[in-house]
Amino acid sequence: MAYKDFRDFLDTLKKEGQILTIEDEVMPEPDLGSAGRAINNVSDKSPALLFTNIHGYNNAKVAMNVIGSWPNHALMMGLPKNTPVKEQFFEFARRWDNYPVPVERMDSAPFQEVVVNEDVNLFDILPLFRLNQYDGGFYIDKACVISRDPSDPDNFGKQNVGIYRIQVKGKDSLGIQPVPQHDIAIHFRLAEERGENLPVALAIGCEPVITTMAGAPIGYDQSEYEMAGAIQGEPYKVFTLPGTNLDVPWGAEVILEGEILAGVREFEGPFGEFTGHYSGGRRMPEIRIKRVYHRKNPIFEHLYIGMPWTETDYMVGVNTCVPIYQQLKEAFPNEIVAVNAMYTHGLVAIVSTKKRYGGFAKAVGMRTLTTPHGLGYCKLVIVVDETVDPFNLPQVMWALSTKMHPAHDVIILPDMSVMPLDPGANPPGITHKMILDATTPVAPETRGHYSQPLDSPVATEKWEKIFQDLLKN
């Protein structure tokens, strides 16, 4: 099943009791950012937020925390809202294998209702606000940014849909953070080498599957739209923006059309990041917006980001675990069981694996570091047995406390690559990395006394079912 657009998903959240509409007047600052932070503090089953009465605005609506909980993430995939995280992971991985699903091309789009061709003032069009108190300005932080590879512009797979932090710096100008590991940085470098600006479109207020894929580390020539089709189980609807070769999500609330300016870097930030620290100020590329499309009374979707857990962590949790899992399975198809890389976008990853021989689990840890995502994250990789559920942290702690021997099972690799926002990196972009082997030693490693593992009493499963049935009512 697929959601037609952002509003269709909000309707589902309403039916499922997973959205809170706040009709009382709120201040843009500090209420919106504070509420976005608070809703993740109170529960991991929290609802989305829809603000309909913002001081100083007439008809503005701001939606936050749209997939900021496991129930909302399950609903994004069309699953029952109480689906356990591990089941969401395996279902996501199963659908991933259906890639690619060709897109459905549409002749017109709802966002063509209103077109602004001149005198663009983003402060008038969008209810912008400051999220964290020392952010350098007002940000757009959940837009799908679409660009094409200038060296291969007809290659649909190389067209990129990604989410990047974007500071509104003037009426029609934006700052963007394309760190070198991002696909859009490749597009921009190729354009800059030609002395050309890079055309881009920003889609705000999309249904949640494309947003999820835009935040996933898929291959450079893999299409986020064709992967979104695989995840939602039917072709993804796109619309080619008139006068461009950019395909945008058909159901978007707002589209900003512009260019990243070649050779220009301007001061940007700081911005409170997913590491729980501000980024500092840096000189980064500028986007000039020349046209805006939007629905009448568009809903502005925003995302709180800061110290985990926030909506960001739910959004880039499963969609980061699955590609690492798929890449590890390419190397070790009969051993890898599951991957949990949900901690600070995978700076910590937990891999559950069978062992072929002594030392094998350490090799799995090494391979995790060399996956595309591992190159910039995976500072700590914990490897556990196939019987340990990597999504069950008490089980992982048990494995660490009983299976790991510090003299044999701690591997530290000096001066590896990491994304520059890691506040512990020194210099930025470089860190030591660590593998903790918390698996049971197997031959020829025979150390320890692991020959008598404790199993559950024989009727435990029967009793689990009995209790599950009794507790349902």
Partner 1 sequence: MTTCPRCDSTEAQMVAESPVKGAWTVYSCPVCFYTWRSTEDEKFTDPAKYEPAFKVRQEDIPNATVVPAIAQRIK
Q: Which residues are annotated as a binding site for prenylated FMN?
A: 160-165, 181-182
- What is the footprint of partner 1 within residues 238-267 (CB under 8 A)? 263, 265-267
Among 136, 157, 358, 423, indicate the residue that binds partner 1 (CB under 8 A).
Answer: 136
CA distance linking residue 348 with residue 342, whole number of Å: 7
Q: Coil, strand, or helix at residue 436?
A: strand
Residue 161 near residue 145 (C-beta atoms within 8 A): yes
The yes or no reply on residue 134 touching partner 1 (CB under 8 A) is: yes
Measure Cα distances from 284 to 52, 165, 178, 196, 373 in Å. 34, 11, 8, 17, 23
Count of residues engaged in binding partner 1, rule: CB under 8 A = 52
Q: How far is the CB of 409 from partner 1 (least distance, A)?
A: 37
What single letter denotes the amino acid at residue 248? V
The verdict on whether 273 is a catalytic residue reads: yes
DSSP 3-state of 190: helix
Paired tokens of 216: 């996933």
**Rounded least distance, CB 46 to partner 1, Å:** 26
Q: Which of 360, 346, 281, 290 is CA-nearest to residue 313? A: 346
Minimum CB separation from partner 1 for residue 51, in Å?
15
Catalytic residue among 273, 286, 311, 335: 273
Number of H helices, E strands in the chain: 14, 23
Our CA angle for 438, 443, 449, nearest 5°, is 60
Contacts of partner 1 in 20-59 (CB under 8 A): 27-30, 55-58
* DSSP three-state, residue 424: coil
276 belongs to the binding site for partner 1 (CB under 8 A) = no
Residues 316-355 that bind partner 1 (CB under 8 A): none
- Smaller CB distance to partner 1: residue 57 or 398? 57
Binding residue for partner 1 (CB under 8 A) from 178, 215, 272, 441?
178
Burial class (CB in 10 A: 0-12, 13-18, 19+), 425: middle
Q: Which two tokens stand for residue 224?
A: 């986020």
The secondary element (H helix, E strand) that includes residue 284 is strand 282-284
Interacting residue with partner 1 among 4, 45, 105, 171 (CB under 8 A): 171
Q: Is 193 in the site for partner 1 (CB under 8 A)?
A: yes
Q: Which of 33, 68, 175, 217 binds partner 1 (CB under 8 A)?
A: 175
The smaller minimum CB distance to partner 1, of residues 304 and 314, is found at 304
CA 382/CA 397 separation, integer angstroms: 10
Q: Is 376 in the site for partner 1 (CB under 8 A)?
A: no
Strands 380-385 and 348-353: parallel
Our finding on whether 427 is near partner 1 (CB under 8 A) is no
Two tokens at 25?
């007047």
The amino acid that residue 31 corresponds to is: D
Q: Is 283 in the site for partner 1 (CB under 8 A)?
A: yes
* Helix runs in 233-287, H state only: none
3-state secondary structure of 276: coil
Query: Cβ 275 to partner 1, closest distance in Å?
Result: 16
Annotated binding site for Mn(2+): 160, 182, 224
151 binds partner 1 (CB under 8 A): no
Closer to partner 1 at the Cβ: 177 or 353? 177
In this complex, which beta carbon is closest to partner 1, that of residue 69 or of residue 177? 177
Stretch that binds partner 1, among 4-12, 134-142, 212-220, 314-322 (CB under 8 A): 134-142
177 binds partner 1 (CB under 8 A): yes
Residue 449 near residue 403, CB atoms below 8 Å? no
Give the binding site for partner 1 (CB under 8 A).
27-30, 55-58, 60, 121, 123-124, 128-130, 133-134, 136-138, 167-171, 175, 177-180, 185, 188-189, 192-195, 263, 265-268, 270, 278, 280-285, 420, 428
Residues designated catalytic? 273
